[in-house]
């Protein structure tokens, strides 16, 4: 965003991603069509294509929906997330071709406007099995269109990431509509249990992964709430999960809890804060990447910059500003290190404001070492008591 917009910022990973995407989609379409034509030579070509593109789009949507929770559960899947937008646009295009063929085949050339026909040609008659399914598909396609049309970084910047993200969370509405579209559409006719089984398996996979990941997120949040210093009675500001100490700084975690070049996440002032340890220093920034609100605290310091795990956007840990020519900025937090513990002031500094990194001085390093020894001593003691 700090540089001029281009159509697509191509790089080697994106090209690889798109090659796999296009190859997979082409394989799906060709295999479905050729096999259908071989097994059922009298099939109408348009309907064969309607089915190929429809099932292809639905499968691709399942894959896209699984990427998010998979990455929450295992960061090794993050490469699948990197260029997910291209998969989304492809999914929309497959759905669009499916819809265009449906309108031409089933609705055009009649006594009614073909688009209007989608709504008026499936009257409701009180029977569950004849719930009009085509309008479900129509509205799902509108949502997929909105998402595909706003997939460029121009829209991320001009809508701002939270608005953009809420718009793109409509994908769950689209998914629900498409499950209904398929359930009350083709499955009412195609009697094979395989069709029912495939959709059911897809549903269980998508919902199962999401619920698992969501539960883990809740668990992560409650973990920060359960740290000893947070169990003290909190102030009226309920969003602050760690309560301020006398001088307003909050005991966030131990220095030893943070791995080198990585961060620990706590919740302060209503949002997650990422506390990084690097080169003997501690810095805290807002956990929210300005690009797409990726979780910076799950990123890593690479070449001196906090790097977002989603798309590799970078920020200097002390200023929260992207290195030039990029212009992204995030709020920073004032930090102190005392007795091997990290204290963070819950009040964020305006985005891009330099906050002096706290140095892990000799004493705190020693304390850190001491606390480790202390721990082992207490373990020894514990062992002794057990004996």
Partner 1 sequence: MIAAAFLIALGIYLACGLVFALPFVLVGAKRIDPHAAQGPWGFRLLIIPGVMALWPLLLRRWATGVKEPPEECNAHRRAARKGVAP
Partner 2 sequence: MNDEFYIGWEAKAAPGIGKTLRKAVVCLLVLAVLVPVLLAMSQRMIGVSVFEWGAVKSFTGVLRTQPYPHLLVPRPGTNDYHTLQSVINSPASASAYHLVAPWKFGLDRASIATFDGKSVSLKGTLIYRGNQTMIEVMPDSIRATNTASTIGLPSVVPLGRQTLLGEIVDSKCFLGVMNPGHLTPHRACAIRCISGGVPPVLLVRQKDGPAIYLLLVSADGKPVNKQVLYSRA
Partner 3 sequence: MIRPLRQRHRRVVIVLGVILPIAFAVGIAARKPVPGMTSLPKELVASPQTFAVTEWERTDLFAKTPIQVRLFRESVGGGRFAVEFSAAKDFVKPDLIVYWIAGNPNITETLPDNARLLGAFNSSVALPLSPDAASASGVLVLYSLADQKIVEVSKPFALQKP
d(CA 326, CA 320): 12
Nearest Cα to 344, choosing from 277, 296, 273, 288? Answer: 273
Shortest distance in whole angstroms from residue 84 CB to partner 1: 17
> CB of 310 within 8 A of CB of 156?
no
Shortest distance in whole angstroms from residue 177 CB to partner 1: 16
> CB of 130 within 8 A of CB of 122?
yes
Identify which of residues 62 and 345 has a Cβ nearer to partner 1 in the complex: 345
Q: Applying CB under 8 A, what is the total number of residues that bind partner 3?
A: 38
Neighbours of 48 (CB within 10 A): 18
39 binds, among partner 2, partner 1, partner 3, none (CB under 5 to 8 A by kind): partner 2
Q: In the structure encoding, which two tokens stand for residue 295, read together?
A: 């979780």
Q: Which of residues 177-196 bind partner 3 (CB under 8 A)?
A: 179-180, 183-184, 187-188, 191, 196
Shortest distance in whole angstroms from residue 368 CB to partner 3: 31
Question: Three-class SS of residue 342?
Answer: strand
Stretch that binds partner 2, among 186-194, 245-253, 326-334, 346-354 (CB under 8 A): 186-194
Q: Which of residues 317-336 bind partner 1 (CB under 8 A)?
A: 330-331, 333-334
183 binds, among partner 1, partner 2, partner 3, none (CB under 5 to 8 A by kind): partner 3
* Location of structure tokens 């295009």: 93
Give the DSSP letter string of 302-354. Answer: ETTEEE-TTT--EE-TTT-BPPTT---B--EE-EEEETTEEEE-SSPBPTT--
Interface residue with partner 3 among 49, 258, 267, 275 (CB under 8 A) is 267
DSSP state of 103: I
What values do phi and psi take at 47, rounded to 5? -70, -35
Q: Which of residues 11-70 bind partner 3 (CB under 8 A)?
A: 41-42
Please, which residues bridge with residue 321 across strands? 329
Identify which of residues 198 and 243 has a Cβ nearer to partner 2 in the complex: 198
Interface residue with partner 1 among 29, 131, 161, 203 (CB under 8 A) is 161
Q: Which of residues 82-141 bind partner 1 (CB under 8 A)?
A: 113, 115-116, 119-120
Please, which residues bridge with residue 263 across strands? 276
Enumerate residues 6+ apart whose C-beta is below 8 A from 332: 283, 284, 285, 286, 318, 319, 320, 348, 349, 351, 352, 353, 354, 355
Residue 351 interacting with partner 3 (CB under 8 A) = no
Please, which residues bridge with residue 333 across strands? 284
Q: Which of residues 238-257 bind partner 1 (CB under 8 A)?
A: 239, 248
80 binds, among partner 3, partner 2, partner 1, none (CB under 5 to 8 A by kind): partner 2
Integer-rounded Cα radius of gyration of the chain:
27
Question: Three-class SS of residue 187?
Answer: helix
Shortest distance in whole angstroms from residue 184 CB to partner 3: 5
DSSP state of 296: G
Helices (H), 74-170: 78-82, 84-102, 114-120, 134-149, 153-159, 161-168
Interface residue with partner 2 among 96, 139, 198, 213 (CB under 8 A) is 198
Q: Which of residues 235-254 bind partner 3 (CB under 8 A)?
A: 239
Q: In the structure encoding, which two tokens stand for residue 199, read together?
A: 């959709």
Half-sphere exposure of 378 (CA within 13 A, CB side): 5
Q: Which of residues 126-155 bind partner 3 (CB under 8 A)?
A: 127-129, 131
Q: Which of residues 258-297 bind partner 1 (CB under 8 A)?
A: 269-271, 273, 286, 288, 290, 293
| Interacting residues toward partner 1 by CB under 8 A | 1-8, 113, 115-116, 119-120, 145-146, 148-150, 152, 154-155, 157-163, 239, 248, 269-271, 273, 286, 288, 290, 293, 330-331, 333-334, 345, 347-351, 353
**Interface contacts to partner 3, rule CB under 8 A:** 41-42, 127-129, 131, 162, 165-166, 169, 172, 175-176, 179-180, 183-184, 187-188, 191, 196, 199-200, 203, 207, 210-211, 214, 217-218, 239, 267, 270-272, 288, 293, 295
């Amino acid at each position: 965003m700090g540089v001029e917009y281009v159509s697509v910022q191509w790089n080697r990973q994106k090209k690889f991603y798109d090659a796999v995407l296009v190859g997979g989609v082409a394989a799906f379409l060709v295999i479905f069509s050729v096999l259908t034509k071989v097994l059922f030579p009298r099939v109408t070509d348009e309907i064969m294509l309607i089915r190929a593109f429809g099932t292809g789009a639905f499968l691709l949507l399942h894959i896209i929906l699984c990427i998010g929770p998979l990455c929450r559960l295992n960061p090794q899947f993050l490469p699948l997330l990197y260029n997910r937008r291209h998969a989304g646009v492809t999914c929309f295009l497959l759905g669009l071709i499916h819809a265009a063929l449906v309108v031409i085949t089933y609705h055009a050339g009649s006594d009614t406007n073909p688009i209007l026909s989608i709504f008026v040609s499936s009257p409701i008659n009180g029977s569950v099995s004849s719930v009009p399914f085509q309008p479900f598909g129509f509205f799902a396609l509108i949502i997929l269109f909105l998402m595909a049309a706003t997939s460029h970084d121009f829209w991320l910047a001009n809508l701002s990431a939270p608005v953009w993200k809420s718009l793109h969370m409509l994908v769950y509405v689209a998914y629900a509509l498409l499950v209904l579209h398929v359930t009350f559409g083709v499955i009412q006719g195609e009697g094979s249990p395989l069709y029912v089984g495939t959709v059911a398996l897809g549903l269980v996979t998508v919902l199962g992964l999401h619920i698992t990941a969501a539960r883990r997120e809740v668990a992560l949040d409650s973990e920060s709430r359960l740290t000893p210093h947070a169990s003290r009675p909190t102030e009226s500001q309920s969003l602050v999960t760690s309560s301020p100490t006398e001088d307003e700084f909050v005991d966030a975690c131990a220095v030893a809890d943070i791995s080198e070049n990585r961060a620990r996440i706590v919740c302060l002032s209503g949002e997650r804060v990422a506390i990084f340890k690097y080169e003997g220093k501690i810095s805290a920034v807002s956990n929210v990447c300005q690009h797409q609100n990726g979780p910076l605290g799950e990123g890593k310091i690479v070449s001196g910059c906090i790097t977002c795990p989603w798309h590799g956007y970078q920020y200097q840990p002390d200023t929260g500003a992207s290195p030039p020519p990029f212009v992204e900025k995030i709020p920073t937090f004032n930090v102190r290190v005392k007795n091997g513990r990290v204290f963070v002031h819950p009040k964020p500094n305006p985005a891009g404001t330099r906050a002096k990194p706290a140095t892990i001085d000799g004493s705190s390093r020693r304390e850190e070492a001491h606390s480790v020894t202390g721990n082992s001593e207490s373990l020894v003691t514990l062992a002794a008591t057990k004996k």
